[in-house]
Amino acid sequence: MDKMLSQLAKEVERRPYTIISAVALITIIFSLFIPLMESGTNMKDFLPNNEVVKANQRVLEYFGENYEVLMVYVKGKNVTQVRAIREQKMVAEKLSKKRFVEGVISLPFFLEKACYMEYGKDLENCSDQEIKDAFMDVMNEKKSIALLAKPDPRESDIPAFADVRNAYLREENDSLVFTIEVQDLSNLDIKELPGLGNSIEWDISFENRFIPEEMKVSYRISARLEPKSVWVIGDGLSSNMNRLFTNLHLMSLGSYERSTYLWIRPPGKEVYIPIKLKNSTFHIDSKRNRIVINVSKDELRSFGISPKFGNIELPAKLEKMRVETRFYGLSRFNLPWLGLSVNSSILLKIKRWSESIKLLRALYEKILKRFDLSPEDTDKFTQYMDKNYTLSLLDLDKNWKTLDTAPNRGYSRETFLLKPKFMEDLKKSILSFLPKNGYDSTLMIIQINGTISRESLKKLSKEIEDILKNESKGKTISFEVTGSGIISYQIDKLTSKSNSIIAPGIFVAIMLILFLNFKRPSYVFLPLLGLSISIIWLFGTMSILHMKFNTIAVALVPLIMGLGVDYSVHMFHNYRAEISKGSTPAKAIASSIRDIGTAMFLATITTCISFLSFLTSSIPPLRDFGILCALGIIYTFIVTISLQASLRYILDRRKPKSKLKVENHSLKITMEGMARRICKYRKGILLVALFVTIVMAHFASNVDTGFSMEEFLPEDAPAIKTMEKISEKFPSASQDQEYILIEGDIANVDVLRDIRNTLLNIQDDTSIARNPDGSPKVESIISIIDEAVRYNKSLIKRFNLDTKNIPRSDTEAKDLLNYLYNSPEYGRKTRSVLYKDGNEFRATLIRVYVSSEISSMDEGTVYKELNSDIECHGNARAIVTGKYSLIYTITKSLTESQASSTVVCLILAGIVLILAYRNVILGLISMIPVTISSIWILGTMYLAGYTLNVMTVMVTSLTIGLGVTYAIHAVERYRLVMRRDGDVEKAILETISHTGGAILAAAITTIAGFGILILSPLPPEQQFGVITAMSIFYALVTTIVVLPPILYIYGKWREIRSRSSGH
């Protein structure tokens, strides 16, 4: 090495212009590649190559790219007001037209579904009142109502059992309960009815608001108390005689039976048609004076009240409700019903016979017309009759006389909504888009095609942000947007801003310190020129190697400038020392290249080793950073001993000696005084250093790790503030998913059962998002099966499901999965969690939404909880993956990288120094300052509340790389003086006073360079600047203050050993 440096020194003296030209040519070549350099920061770049990452990639292969999501925070006085809803709808439609935008989910998205169900119209064509009602219907929680605000008073001219007091309506799981309260039921005596009436009905009439006016049907639910039939025409003589004698024998002739009827008035008709309900009943509660009618929902659906088509159930809103009591009274004399009925089969025969004869047909139609009926009406009516159905005069609505009505005028003001299960799901979705308290804000979720490139995503995110800012003007609501695209865009924007601040700032800081140190402009200009050239070489190399300029790469500029200026300071400090001794510029520069070049070369090797230790990391950007730092250090070394040396020689070779000599007496005096004190108090210094190191080691062991793209933005960044608002106000709106990927034979009963058990285990996890009702926000094939069964109970029998909706055989399991996979209702949802390869189901997914309140410190909790939730899946294999699992693996890799790179760095740097010095002890002593500094800086990080993130994880290797340079220069000076004079104390004093001054100047310059990072708008870079500056300060202190006493002890030990050997 000495020969190579000596030869270079000769070349600098003989051909300085040739060296300058060669450096200039290389610089031009590298500069041509800089415009091609890629830039950008993406979480995918930081992913290590492990099983969790591979599983995440398979999720994308099986189920396609997930949507990229932007979340819009919508603020207003009341975001559910109609005007605000319409404004949200308009903005959503505008955003939906953007390329790559797949959809916009918002309040209007859900309300439009309700409007279609209720009115058959979209939001745009609904009136303000209809939109308002639709929202109220979805949010409605009423399961029971009273028809009258206050009880109807007693009317003395009406029997107490027929005098309506109030009425109630209650919804139960499979039935509607109509309750009519009267004044008194303790003495129910039919004889009190007017005239000879012997039948009574208590009924509630209503209409369905959601039926169009031209198709409007009126309904009446009736509880009828009527005498039993005595004679049924069409049943035959024997049957009727048998009925008659049976009633006489049981003494039941003239007794009453209870029947429930639904009277229907077709559109545009005046007459009601009665349908006897087979599955509905009523009972009389005498104690509470109530007639309670229990009506089957399924039976009502068959007559158009909340009908069901396949799995789709429509809502119904009962309105125009009124309560009546009626009695049967034939003619104006109110004659009773005499128990005579007609079998429906006879009527159907008569109907068919009359239709076949023209004269009879005309008569038949004329009779029907009198009752405002048509043959079509009778056809509809007869389809509900079975062979045992009987008709009588009781079925003619005109024969019934009203006793009491409530309310006395008009209808009840109440309405009653029959909500299908779908609307309950709709309500859950809407609640997740509304804050916990009030309606002052809501969300929009913009779904962007997952195949979009990162650059296109950032561009699109910026366009959307601009649209939303513009749309916020002049509206009742305002918009703020956040999401990965916005965060990436803002990070890039801040990175550019950071570069515009940092590079000039470092130049200015270094210029000032160099000028204060050397007091000559040329000593400022040459280091800065050399640094600029080194950075051009480095950026050109990045472009050639296709390495992206990401957020970590921002640290390259201060790092290279900080280390590069160290080389310049050491070389020029030695050069000036030689000049002050009377050497010519040629001899001074040659001496500096030889003497300082050796130390610089060793420092370059050990520093490169420190940076190349990042190759042990599993995180690609850290490996790239290590390579680039190593190349940057090599470039600065080459430029310093070639270009800067040549330019220094050219500038000074013709100057008179009087102009060359510049001595910094004040620094020399200060350093000499410090040297004497260090030698005097060396034992105390070592004891204090040992105590501080022990304390810092304790703190260092507690440093946490963390990684999040959000960490790259300041806390007051718009995207971060918006994200915090959303997390606080919409805890159930999280769109972050973790996955449990299950691969193998999925169409298996054991696998499905284990998935069910896994879902049960997830119930008590603390890290998952929850629906407004508190249930876990999870999607899986089991949740789809549950939903399908909830809407279609026939699936239980069809696929032989047990009580937990699991098929009882593998064949039935496969049939069920095929049914769902190909179903028009559930196919899309099923394919998002079930992967089919040919005819076999090879993989399924449990999508677990993670709570938005989870911080970057809790990713391990998510990963560990889900892993503990997994039940054995038979022949299938399960693995947890997803965003937070990936982050957890990154942070775990960061810890492993930090530990492994530090160990590798210390070992390799120590080996290099041992080989260079040919002395094991001296090589290890040279590593003591950086070892102590590494412990101190990790302890400082803990005390400052910093984590080991993707920037600060490099701190120990950087401390070794930066600090070992100082130790090498100090040890080299110590060895030089010991070889020359053999005096330990003199060697220590000269090491501190001579080299210590250069180390101090270099350290201050480097600290200033990294200190500029505090001005960066990116928090990790601020932390990196503070930590690296502190690392250099600790390296300076340990090199100047701690290392000399150790060298003193080592030197004295060598002297004693030499004397002992001499004897």
Domain membership of residue 506 (yes or no) is no
CA atoms within 13 A on the CB side of 942: 15
pLDDT surpasses 60 at 900: yes
Domain membership of residue 799 (yes or no) is yes
pLDDT surpasses 90 at 662: no
| In a shared domain, residues 582 and 632 | yes
- Poorest-pLDDT segment among 416-430, 710-724, 795-809, 1014-1028: 710-724
Burial class (CB in 10 A: 0-12, 13-18, 19+), 22: middle
| In a shared domain, residues 460 and 545 | no
pLDDT digits (tens, 9 = 90+) for 993-1022: 777 777 887 788 778 877 777 877 777 777
| In a shared domain, residues 985 and 1034 | yes
- Poorest-pLDDT segment among 294-298, 671-675, 839-843, 982-986: 671-675
Domain membership of residue 397 (yes or no) is yes
Please spell the DSSP secondary structure of 147-215, one letter per residue: SSSSPPPP-TTS-GGGSEEEEEEEE-SSEEEEEEEES--TT--GGGSSTT---EEEEEEEEETTS-GGG
Write out the two tokens for 256. 């009453």
Please spell the DSSP secondary structure of 455-480, one letter per residue: HHHHHHHHHHHHHHHHHTTTSSEEEE
Quick count: other Cβ atoms within 10 Å of Cβ 223? 25
Kind and range of the H or E element at 516? helix 484-518
Q: In 3-state terms, what secondary structure has residue 80?
A: coil
| In a shared domain, residues 698 and 797 | no
| In a shared domain, residues 950 and 831 | no
Q: Angle CA(754)–CA(758)–CA(760) in degrees, nearest 5?
A: 115
Domain membership of residue 377 (yes or no) is no
Q: What is the C-alpha to C-alpha distance for residues 332 and 581, in angstroms, rounded to an integer?
A: 141
Q: Given its phi and psi angles, is residue 836 left (phi above 0), alpha (psi -120 to 50 degrees) or beta?
A: beta
| C-alpha dihedral (872, 876, 878, 882), degrees to nearest 10 | -150
3-state secondary structure 848-872: EEECCCCCCCCHHHHHHHHHHHCCC
How distant, in Å, are the alpha carbons of 209, 264, 581 from that of 214? 12, 15, 113
More reliable by pLDDT, 517 or 179: 179
Q: How far apart are the first and last CA of the chain?
A: 37
Looking at residue 252, its pLDDT comes to 45
Tell me which residue of 264, 121, 137, 261 sits closest to 202, measured CA to CA. 261
How distant, in Å, are the alpha carbons of 742, 743, 781, 847 from that of 62? 11, 11, 15, 14
Q: Angle CA(134)–CA(135)–CA(137) in degrees, nearest 5?
A: 65
The CATH code of the domain that includes 956 is: 1.20.1640.10
| C-alpha dihedral (124, 129, 132, 137), degrees to nearest 10 | -110
DSSP E strands: which ranges in 561-676? none
More reliable by pLDDT, 1028 or 287: 287
pLDDT surpasses 80 at 391: no
Looking at residue 44, its pLDDT comes to 66
pLDDT surpasses 80 at 88: yes
| pLDDT class of 253 with cuts at 50, 70, 90 | very low
The residues, ordered by sequence, that sit 6+ positions from 293 with a Cβ below 8 Å of its Cβ are 177, 178, 179, 180, 202, 204, 221, 223, 260, 280, 281, 282
| In a shared domain, residues 22 and 5 | yes
The CATH code of the domain that includes 116 is: 3.30.70
Is the separation of the CB atoms in 613 and 626 below 8 Å? yes
Domain membership of residue 729 (yes or no) is no
When divided into structural domains, the chain yields a total of 5
* DSSP tag of 644: I
Looking at residue 45, its pLDDT comes to 65
More reliable by pLDDT, 370 or 838: 838
In whole angstroms, what separates CA 836 from the centre of its chain?
Answer: 27
How distant, in Å, are the alpha carbons of 221, 512, 662 from that of 1001? 98, 12, 16
Looking at residue 251, its pLDDT comes to 45
Q: What is the C-alpha to C-alpha distance for residues 543 and 534, in angstroms, rounded to an integer?
A: 14
Tell me which residue of 325, 208, 222 sits closest to 282, measured CA to CA. 222
Number of H helices and E strands in the chain, helices first, is: 36, 26
Please spell the DSSP secondary structure of 749-810, one letter per residue: HHHHHHHHHHHHHHTT-SSB-B-TTS-B-EE-HHHHHHHHHHH-THHHHHTTB-TTS-BSSH
| In a shared domain, residues 743 and 877 | yes
Give every strand in the sheet of 231-233, ordered side by side: 231-233, 340-343, 390-392
Range 264-284 average pLDDT: 88
Quick count: other Cβ atoms within 10 Å of Cβ 52? 21
Q: What is the C-alpha to C-alpha distance for residues 453 and 457, in angstroms, rounded to an integer?
A: 6
Domain membership of residue 934 (yes or no) is yes
Domain membership of residue 338 (yes or no) is yes
Dihedral over Cα of 816, 822, 825, 831: its sign:
positive
| In a shared domain, residues 841 and 949 | no
Tell me which residue of 968, 883, 882 sits closest to 925, measured CA to CA. 968
Q: What is the C-alpha to C-alpha distance for residues 919 and 917, in angstroms, rounded to an integer?
A: 5
Range 531-557 average pLDDT: 85
| AA letter at 924 | L
- Beta strand 164-171 with 175-182: parallel, antiparallel or unpaired? antiparallel
pLDDT digits (tens, 9 = 90+) for 730-787: 876 666 788 999 999 899 899 999 999 999 999 988 888 887 777 888 999 999 999 8
Which of 866, 883, 900 terminates a domain? The answer is: 883
Q: In which residue are the tokens 């979480």 written?
A: 43
| In a shared domain, residues 691 and 773 | no
The residues, ordered by sequence, that sit 6+ positions from 1061 with a Cβ below 8 Å of its Cβ are none
Expressed as residue numbers, the domain containing 407 is 144-342+392-418
Tell me which residue of 463, 470, 454, 455 sits closest to 99, measured CA to CA. 463
pLDDT digits (tens, 9 = 90+) for 187-219: 888 778 887 767 899 999 999 988 888 888 999
- Beta strand 290-296 with 175-182: parallel, antiparallel or unpaired? antiparallel
More reliable by pLDDT, 383 or 462: 462
pLDDT digits (tens, 9 = 90+) for 219-242: 999 999 988 777 777 777 777 787
- Beta strand 477-483 with 68-76: parallel, antiparallel or unpaired? antiparallel
pLDDT surpasses 90 at 846: yes
Looking at residue 903, its pLDDT comes to 76
Q: Angle CA(933)–CA(938)–CA(939) in degrees, nearest 5?
A: 95
Q: What is the C-alpha to C-alpha distance for residues 566 and 514, in angstroms, rounded to an integer?
A: 11
Looking at residue 198, its pLDDT comes to 79
| In a shared domain, residues 931 and 801 | no
Looking at residue 856, its pLDDT comes to 46
Range 428-455 average pLDDT: 87
Domain membership of residue 710 (yes or no) is no
- Note the residue count of the chain: 1063
- Most confident residue range from 19-23, 358-362, 914-918: 19-23
Q: What is the C-alpha to C-alpha distance for residues 665 and 663, in angstroms, rounded to an integer?
A: 6
Range 166-191 average pLDDT: 91
In whole angstroms, what separates CA 398 from the centre of its chain?
Answer: 65
Tell me which residue of 550, 397, 593, 587 sits closest to 1018, measured CA to CA. 550
Tell me which residue of 301, 429, 425 sits closest to 790, measured CA to CA. 425
Range 585-589 average pLDDT: 86
pLDDT surpasses 90 at 73: yes
Which of 644, 663, 682 terminates a domain? The answer is: 663
More reliable by pLDDT, 591 or 496: 591
Q: What is the C-alpha to C-alpha distance for residues 40 and 709, in angstroms, rounded to an integer?
A: 12
Q: Angle CA(906)–CA(908)–CA(911) in degrees, nearest 5?
A: 105
Q: Given its phi and psi angles, is residue 268 left (phi above 0), alpha (psi -120 to 50 degrees) or beta?
A: left
Q: What is the mean pLDDT of the chain?
A: 83
pLDDT surpasses 50 at 857: no
| In a shared domain, residues 540 and 638 | yes
Looking at residue 945, its pLDDT comes to 81
pLDDT digits (tens, 9 = 90+) for 350-385: 666 666 666 556 665 665 566 556 666 666 555 555
Quick count: other Cβ atoms within 10 Å of Cβ 213? 6
Widest CA span in the chain = 152
| In a shared domain, residues 566 and 438 | no
| pLDDT class of 329 with cuts at 50, 70, 90 | confident
% of the chain at pLDDT higher than 90: 28
